[in-house]
Amino acid sequence: MRTIGFFEPLPIDDPKSLNDLDLPRPVPSGKDLLVEVKAVAVNPVDTKVRQSRTSQNGVPVVLGYDAAGIVVEVGPDVASYKVGDEVYYAGDITRDGANSEYHLIDERIVGRKPTSLSFAEAAAMPLTAITA
């Protein structure tokens, strides 16, 4: 799965500050949704995490906490979503971010994408809506 990640906080103009990576496609468990990411937003949390977090045990840090996409798999305990649902959400900074082709997210922090919004418009909403 194509992903953008980093291993150490470097100045953004450093060619190694963000890396195109190929990681295994995640597998949902519990209440996880596996979302095919269609759009992500960049927010202050992304820049703060990028400036302060370092890879642990060689595992890259993946940013992208506001996203929108389509559910492609569900964990065994998922109750509110099914494959094909269009969703959007503000992610969880304790987990990998959504700057990937696929992203695992707990169904309890996901909403159905409004049909009146494009994926890009929906991805721009979560953190700003929570803040408001």
- CATH code for position 77: 3.90.180.10
Q: How many domains does the chain have?
A: 1
Domain that holds residue 58: 2-131
Cβ proximity of 114 and 121 under 8 Å: no
pLDDT for the residue 87: 98
- Give the angle 60-39-116 at the CA atoms, nearest 5°: 155
Please write the tens of the pLDDT for every residue from 32-73: 999 999 999 998 889 899 999 999 999 999 999 999 999 999
Interatomic CA distance for residues 23 and 54, integer angstroms: 18
pLDDT for the residue 62: 96
Interatomic CA distance for residues 34 and 36, integer angstroms: 7
Per DSSP, helices labelled H in 53-125 are: 119-123
Interatomic CA distance for residues 32 and 51, integer angstroms: 28
Please write the tens of the pLDDT for every residue from 86-130: 999 998 989 999 999 999 999 999 999 999 999 999 999 998 888
Chain-wide mean pLDDT for the chain? 95
